Amino acid sequence: MHITAAALAEAVHAGERRALARAITLIESTRADHRERAAELLERLMPLTGRSIRIGISGVPGVGKSTFIEALGMHVIDRGHRVAVLAVDPSSALSGGSILGDKTRMEELARRPEAFIRPSPAGGTLGGVARRTREAMLACEAAGFDVIIVETVGVGQSETAVAEMTDLFLLLLLPAGGDELQGIKRGIMELADLVLVNKADGDLAGAARRTVADYRHALHMLRPRSRNWTVPVEACSAHTGAGIPETWETIGRYRETLDASGELAARRAAQARTWMWSETTDNLVAALREHPAVRERLPELEAAVTEGRIPPTLAARRLLAAFLGEEPDSE
Ligand code: GDP
């Protein structure tokens, strides 16, 4: 059945879950006519967005992301919120298998009417997956979800993509004995607004305490992401629920602090501009690749670059010239 973007927007706004699921399916489609309808839908939904807290969560596979999100999700639902959980997992494009999506996850949370869980859109580039997740996030906000959690795995560049679409980036760590820093790259640590060492229970409690101390020390050496916020490092247990209410309090404190300083609004504004430019770049490159004159010259230029006959810089200029309909330069 065909439904207009206007009717779908209305149903999403009314909080109809099936309409929301359908809206996201439309957003995820790569078909040209679907893209057009999705754009109209998003334009209609836009005034209804922006009133949620957007939380990005990352950590290596096995750190306890699903368990933690379920525990935090149930806690915030009990406090009267509605939670949407989305994911950015481009691993399906790289390896053919999804790191986040393969197991049955968050079963208890998934059964709650106050929760909406959507796996990562399948396949494509990180840029494509991120764009679809950003748009899905807006649809969830328009449907009245006021806590949005975007989950990603600690592989590749996906953390940066998630930090660029959320208000708060939460890094989950494992309790590690000694001072080994779990191979977490400095760049990822610098994105964090909140660091939690999960599995602080049973035999792992002592190791978790030491890991907290290690990371407090390590974070001290890093350039802070915000002038107004010192990144907390705490322990929690997604299993026992220890530290979960405190985490939600910390998130609330973070939101108030950055709201008061104007930083939250500034961050979102900067994210919107970054998003606009990445869209522009992607669309421009797609249009360039489709252009008949570019397609005609591409095989020859690619061969010349491959064989080292001309520098890539020159080949790039010639492709651009072909796209713009300019005379090829005589170099
Ligand atoms: P994900 O891959 O990051 O989503 O991790 P999962 O949530 O699937 O958890 C990986 C494993 O760690 C599972 O066996 C969980 O039961 C376990 N786990 C998760 N949280 C905790 C915790 O707080 N304490 C302990 N002891 N185990 C946990």
Which of 58, 63, 65, 67 most suits a substitution to test ligand 1, by most atoms within 8 Å of the C-beta? 67
Residue 239 Cβ < 6 Å to ligand 1: yes
In a domain, 305, yes or no: no
Which residue is closest in CA terms to ligand 1's atom 25?
199
Which residue is closest in CA terms to ligand 1's atom 10?
62
SS3 81: coil
> Do residues 93 and 147 share a domain?
yes
- Mode of pairing for the β-strands spanning 115-117 and 168-173: unpaired
ipTM above 0.85, yes or no: yes
In a domain, 210, yes or no: yes
Cα 69 from chain centre: 15
Domain count within the chain: 2
Which residue is closest in CA terms to ligand 1's atom 15?
64
CATH code for the domain in which residue 77 is found? 3.40.50.300
Stretch among 180-189, 205-214, 216-225 having the lowest mean pLDDT: 180-189
Rounded to the nearest angstrom, the distance between the alpha carbon of 188 and the centre of ligand 1 is 21
Which residue is closest in CA terms to ligand 1's atom 27?
199
Residue closest to 164 by CA, chosen among 277, 319, 83: 277
Rounded to the nearest angstrom, the distance between the alpha carbon of 176 and the centre of ligand 1 is 15
Kindly report, residue by residue over 62-110, the tens digit of the pLDDT.
Answer: 899 999 999 999 999 999 999 999 988 877 555 555 556 545 679 999 9
In a domain, 311, yes or no: no
- 36 — alpha (psi -120 to 50), left (phi > 0) or beta? alpha
pTM for this prediction: 0.90
Q: Which atom of ligand 1 is nearest to the CA of 63?
A: 3
Task: Write out the residue range of the structural domain in which residue 3 sits.
Answer: 1-48
Q: Other CB atoms closer than 10 Å to residue 82's CB: what's the count?
A: 21
In a domain, 308, yes or no: no
